[in-house]
Each structure stands twice: as structure tokens, then as C-alpha cells.
Amino acid sequence: MQVILEVDKCIGSGSCEMLAPEVFRVGESGLAELLDASPGSDMESQCRAAEESCPTQAIQIEV
């Protein structure tokens, strides 16, 4: 699985970090940062939930 984060679309809502803290975090800039661009399949449901909850559609999951 590949996680793509388009930081230029991010508004820092923090939903991604709340749903998948092993993959995302909100950094000092107030915007999301990608901690793991290739998480294991065990993280797919959390990453998909983060993708769906992103208000600006800044997250894309590719399998």
C-alpha cells in the first residue's frame, strides 16, 4: 500500500493523525506530515478512514 499526502491541500484538521497516528502527524507547521508512506496491510483500514475523513482530499491510498 502506498500513501500519498498532498501537503499543499492540507488545512491541518488533524483527523488523519487521530485515525492513523502511526502514519500521519500534525507537525509544528500545523499541517499534516507523512510518517510512513508504505505502511503494512494491517494499517489499510486506518489509512482509508483517514483518506475518507480528510476535508480537503489531501490523502490518497493506492494498493
Q: What is the pLDDT of residue 7?
A: 97
* Domain ranges within the chain, ordered by starting residue: 2-62
The stretch 30-59 carries a mean pLDDT of: 98
- pLDDT, position 25: 98
Which residue(s) pair with 32 in the sheet? 26
Instruction: Let me know if domain 2-62 sits in CATH 3.40.50.10800.
Output: no
DSSP per-residue string spanning 28-56:
TTSSEEES-SS--GGGHHHHHHHHHH-TT
The pLDDT score that the predictor gives to residue 48 is 98
Q: Give this prediction's pTM.
A: 0.94
